[in-house]
Structure 1
Amino acid sequence: MSKENRLLKVAPILKPYALEPHFVEEFGRVQKIYTNKGVFALKKINPKHGGEFIRHVQELFQKGYNRIVPIFPTVDGRYAVLHENELYYLMPWLANEEKENRFERHQLLFRELARLHTLSAREITISKEERTEHYEKTLLEWEKENEFLEGFIEACEKKEYLSPFELMFSLSYHDVSQALQFSIKRFKTWYEKTEESEKARMVVIHGKISTEHFLYDDRGYGYFTNFEKSRPGSPIHDLLPFLSRTLKTYPKKSEECIEWIYTYLKYFPFKEDELLLFQSYFAHPGAVIKSAESYYKGQSNKGERKSVQHFQRQYWLLKNTEYILMRIEEIEAQKAQAKAQAEAQAQAQEGAQN
């Protein structure tokens, strides 16, 4: 699109803001607009999802959370403009120059995410029936996955010659099965501890946490943007997708992921039941099981080599996740031991004084 056409297209959108565009640069769904009153970011979104996320952003501002790229109102007070069946909203354009390395950038992101969750946290009522229904439905799905794994390995063991995929599945079966059993065990423990509870902690979740959605201004302060998928939910719904994307790589012992998780937990500590549920969902080997099911049922159109590669990538994710969970287990055990020792010393000192 030519320079003139871009200006003609954005001019009616910017008119309600009393802005005159001078130059436009396109960055996907975001446009960098140079105007008579400065530089702005104009974002296009689906009108069906427009009003809800703006309400969540305003709610967070009202609660004192100001590390969100602000959304500017029009002259008549609207926070979005509908134009040709598309919804647009306006923000300041942040320089987003990296003043920290990757590790520090993630540390700040997780600290700010914890603050966002802390300020928006509230308790909601969940009936015992709802909790039990969720538990039984999820457990049934996972037990069916376990039955599939056992059936597939039995079929492989009966064969004299295995395909490359079947061979890889056979070699990976123990790890996949162990991960599923760990996930089920944590899930059962969570239910046992919360069966009689009718409360749960909810927060406003960002919905798509990413370093690409955490921008820096010219002073080096970080701000969240892209809140279109924000909604009330459990805090783990922000953490799990981010960790899954980060760990979906070659096998590695990601100590930095441990640091990020515990940076978050320092500012937004999980309750015992929340940590159990986090461990259960985090450990669940859903991606690798789906890959195996797709191959077994003949639903994959990737071919043998690509099916093997896809399964291997999901297996690497499982192993990377396994390491993180093992380290969390170690850290939590050390914390419990230190707490027990401190309590024992306090009791001993109290006894000596008496």
Structure 2
Amino acid sequence: MYEKNRLEKVYPILKNYAIEPHFVENFGKIQKVYSNKGVFALKKINPKQGGDFVKHIQSLYQKGYNRIVPIFPTIDGRYGVLHEHNLYYLMPWLVNEENEKGHERHHQLFRELARLHTLSTNDIKVNKEDRTDHYEKTLLEWEKHQDFLEGFMEACEQRTYMSPFELMFVLSYNDIQQALNYSIKNLKAWYEKTKDDEKARVVTVHGKISTDHFLYDERGYGYFSNFEQARQGSPIHDILPFLSRSLKTFPKRAEDCIEWIYMYLKYFPLREDELLLFASYFAHPGAVIRTAEKYYKNPSRHSERKILQHFQKHYWLIKNSEYVLMRMEEIERQKQQAKAQAEAAAQANEGAQN
């Protein structure tokens, strides 16, 4: 009976594709459809997202990027079917079996992300006043964060007996403050670098990069799916959320993240201003500050143990991000030194020949 109901629900949608379903399996918002024409993935999305995401996919195809899970048109050429207040679109069902080691999936994902950004890159005009307004508002917000950290620290130090959360905050204070200062320093450097620029580079941002949205076909090629949040934006808008999710774990030396970043940079080098903004946002301890603010405003409202665990996870993210950024700075220094030595050797060789 349950299977019959599922078939009855998808039948009017698949009729638009001249497909007759035989069996349906549910995977959340995606349904696996076995039919007279093969196996398909039927995806349900909000209709408000439909137009933009199809537009971005078509634009990428026109620019030569084809590592996207194909979207099949209906009989009359539409790329989606509106049914009972939802929009549905149809794709092939990829086997998604990895023949490689786990870390290779991330490497291929970042190679493909770099290629996606390369093919979709475009310079757009930027209003200087808008850039200045964004910078000043962000700087003001982050300076307020500094004031809060200092004020909360003073309040904790005045306690005769600190709560476990307050003690954890005091012990973490220097690391949080250093991360915030580093963010502000790079934000200011970014603004000085770009304040007179009339253009900025944008790419097609996938919007939700994840290994769950990078699927393999039977040949072992990787394809991006789930473009519903695609938009035009800075390339760092794809990289930063992925890295933050990967680093939101126990303290570790995240050499794998450094490999992913340099795999991406090998195929799509970020400009100096983009690297400054990347470092600024990557280091920013916003989540840990927001947790401290929640506790400060109403400590009795929260379970001490739960909010302390929440705070600790965000603090670990700061430390993991710090390690990645420090390693990147070290790698870039080594590159500059090697370049300077090569140039000095070339000049010495040229002088000897003369």
Give the alignment's TM-score, normalised by structure 1: 0.98
> Displacement of 1:353 after TM fit?
4.0
1:294 aligns with 2:277: no
Percent identity of equivalent pairs: 73
Alpha-carbon separation, structure 1, partners of 2:302 and 2:251: 23
1:190 aligns with 2:190: yes
1:49 aligns with 2:33: no
1:218 aligns with 2:180: no
The Cα RMSD (Å) is 1.2
> Displacement of 1:130 after TM fit?
1.3
Structure-2 residue corresponding to 1:115? 115
Alpha-carbon separation, structure 1, partners of 2:57 and 2:348: 51
Structure-1 residue corresponding to 2:128? 128
AA matched with 1:286: G
User: What's the secondary structure of 1:104's corresponding residue?
Assistant: helix
Relative distance call for 1:276 and 1:170 in structure 2 (3 A) is same
Structure-2 residue corresponding to 1:334? 334
Structure-2 residue corresponding to 1:85? 85
1:138 aligns with 2:120: no
Alpha-carbon separation, structure 2, partners of 1:174 and 1:111: 37
For the Cα contact (< 8 Å) 1:33–1:41, is it kept in 2?
yes
AA matched with 2:206: H
> Displacement of 1:300 after TM fit?
7.8
AA matched with 2:38: G
> Displacement of 1:344 after TM fit?
2.3
AA matched with 1:60: L
User: What's the secondary structure of 2:200's corresponding residue?
Assistant: strand
Structure-2 residue corresponding to 1:240? 240
Alpha-carbon separation, structure 2, partners of 1:102 and 1:247: 17
Structure-2 residue corresponding to 1:160? 160
User: What's the secondary structure of 1:251's corresponding residue?
Assistant: coil
> Displacement of 1:346 after TM fit?
2.8
For the Cα contact (< 8 Å) 2:295–2:302, is it kept in 1?
no
Taking the TM superposition and a 5 Å limit, the aligned residue runs for 1:1-354 are: 2-298=2-298, 301-354=301-354
Deviating more after overlay: 1-10 vs 112-121: 1-10
> Displacement of 1:299 after TM fit?
7.2
What is the number of residues matched between the two proteins?
Answer: 354
Alpha-carbon separation, structure 1, partners of 2:153 and 2:299: 18
Alpha-carbon separation, structure 2, partners of 1:300 and 1:100: 50
User: What's the secondary structure of 1:6's corresponding residue?
Assistant: helix
Q: Deviations over 1:149-206 (max 9, x none)?
A: 0000011111111010000000000000000001101111111111111111100011
Q: Deviations over 1:93-115 (max 9, x none)?
A: 00001212221110100110000
For the Cα contact (< 8 Å) 2:205–2:237, is it kept in 1?
yes
Alpha-carbon separation, structure 1, partners of 2:57 and 2:340: 42
User: What's the secondary structure of 1:176's corresponding residue?
Assistant: helix
Structure 1, unmatched stretches of 5+, are none
AA matched with 1:236: I
Q: Deviations over 1:70-129 (max 9, x none)?
A: 100011110000011110000000000121222111010011000000000000111211
Q: Deviations over 1:202-257 (max 9, x none)?
A: 00011000000000001111000000011001011101111111100111111011
Deviating more after overlay: 147-156 vs 99-108: 99-108
Alpha-carbon separation, structure 2, partners of 1:342 and 1:190: 29
AA matched with 2:238: D
For the Cα contact (< 8 Å) 1:294–1:300, is it kept in 2?
no
User: What's the secondary structure of 2:61's corresponding residue?
Assistant: helix
> Displacement of 1:347 after TM fit?
2.9
Alpha-carbon separation, structure 2, partners of 1:208 and 1:301: 33
> Displacement of 1:8 after TM fit?
1.0
Relative distance call for 1:301 and 1:210 in structure 2 (3 A) is farther
Q: Which runs of 4+ in 1 moved over 4 A?
A: none
AA matched with 2:297: K
Alpha-carbon separation, structure 2, partners of 1:347 and 1:302: 66
User: What's the secondary structure of 1:334's corresponding residue?
Assistant: helix
For the Cα contact (< 8 Å) 1:300–1:307, is it kept in 2?
no
User: What's the secondary structure of 1:66's corresponding residue?
Assistant: coil
Relative distance call for 1:9 and 1:299 in structure 2 (3 A) is farther
Relative distance call for 1:335 and 1:57 in structure 2 (3 A) is same
User: What's the secondary structure of 2:22's corresponding residue?
Assistant: strand
For the Cα contact (< 8 Å) 1:72–1:91, is it kept in 2?
yes
For the Cα contact (< 8 Å) 1:190–1:277, is it kept in 2?
yes
Structure 2, unmatched stretches of 5+, are none
Alpha-carbon separation, structure 1, partners of 2:117 and 2:338: 28
AA matched with 1:200: A
> Displacement of 1:351 after TM fit?
3.5
Give the alignment's TM-score, normalised by structure 2: 0.98
> Displacement of 1:330 after TM fit?
0.3
Relative distance call for 1:299 and 1:86 in structure 2 (3 A) is farther
Alpha-carbon separation, structure 2, partners of 1:74 and 1:324: 47
AA matched with 1:346: A
